[in-house]
Amino acid sequence: MMVASVLAGESLRDAQLRLVPALPVADRALALEIANGCLRNLRLLQAAAQALLAKQPDARVYALLLCGLYQCSFLHLPAHAAVSASVGACPLLGRSFAKGLVNAVLRRFVREGCALPRDLDPEITYSYPRWMREMLEEDYGREKAAQIMAAGNERAPMFLRVELDRISLEDYCARLDAAGFAYKTGEPRGLIELQEPVSTTQLPLFAEGLVSVQDKAAQCAAPLLELSAGLSVLDCCCAPGGKSAHILASGFEVQLTAADADPKRLYSAAQNLVRLKRLPPEVLSACSPEAGLPERYAGKNVSLRLQDGTALSPAEGLYDRILLDAPCSGSGVIRRHPDIKWLRRRADITALTELQSLILDAAFACLKPGGIMLYTTCSVFKAENERQINSFLHRQQGQAELLPFSLLGQNSGMIQRLPGQEDADGFFYARLRRIS
């Protein structure tokens, strides 16, 4: 059902929230693995299905067949079990009439050795839509584009960020040792990479707000702000709140304004900040996930604001530091969200770059002279990143300059991290300083 929902246009996250709670607890992890794996390898599985079907069945049966092919091809499960489970799912989907078809197609696939097509077309080999493959090749060339697509199909590791202002890295690692976790630490300080992903319910001190799940690439953002005590900081597209929390855990007492244009997403950021003991629980008491947060909340060190980034105004205040984690294609996090490949369209990139440009200009107008603005995306497309920043600098001639930093063995004012570099997500960073 999750795969069918994505193919019908629903995000995988929304489909999970809607469908997974109805499953037995013991089946949930496998269901998520099948859905994610099927979407990672969709074009390849569709090519296999096309060779086995005289005509394509209805959407639910087709999605079920793709999931069955995935189980037979990629999971270390007995083939007969995968076939039996797929046939048994037909009545649950209201498709009892399709049991014979599902059984025949999957059994034939197994008899033929579960052989997937060996096609030189990269759209099938890597299961990427044509427009996305073309954009990657335009930006990086064919060889590098193939590497990016291959990395996008890998399973992402699980990174943790320890709240170092409240517990030492050594003390938290001792808790992991006692619980039998295998892990390694890294940079930036406070980062831990688990050898095997686990549910947050299994993480020591997660409920107590002493650790968060955050990719390594995202953890590199807050340190680039060069925080110090007394600074005013704006996180202007803050949801789901991970980078806001990292700013507050810097060890410096800053005044943070966390803003977002979507009330439901702002609520999700507030939930995270409440769990991490950065906000009092009362913040959530008069609102709900469905309605979102009210327009404003003002606390001692943290303020929440429902704010369209394009409407930011210096009349409402200037900031020493601004983090703009801009709305983007998500092309750098496909390994975590494979549905991005099938839900995004090339026209979305044009709309997103226009929005990014508007937010960049509006946010920069709120930066104090000498202040630092960090622009980030979880994209690999140059239109959203390098070309976006070059256009911004052209518009702001004499007002803005790049402020170099060191990352990934480079020293530059803007750096592109590709998916899989140091095991992290694809991510772009540009650090800007207001001259006057």
**Which residue numbers are catalytic?**
378
- As to burial, measured by CB atoms within 10 angstroms (0-12 exposed, 13-18 middle, 19+ buried), residue 428 is buried
Residue with tokens 């789901």: 240
Distance CA 8, CA 91 (A): 21
Short-list 191, 180, 259, CA closest to 424 = 191
Q: What angle is formed at CA 359 by the lines to CA 391 and CA 264, rounded to 5 degrees?
A: 145
Backbone angles phi, psi at 174, to 5 degrees: -65, -35
Cβ atoms of 294 and 286 closer than 8 Å? yes
Distance CA 342, CA 321 (A): 36
Q: Name beta bridge partners: 161.
A: 191, 212
Short-list 146, 107, 141, 100, CA closest to 123 = 146
Cβ atoms of 408 and 415 closer than 8 Å? yes
Distance CA 284, CA 290 (A): 12
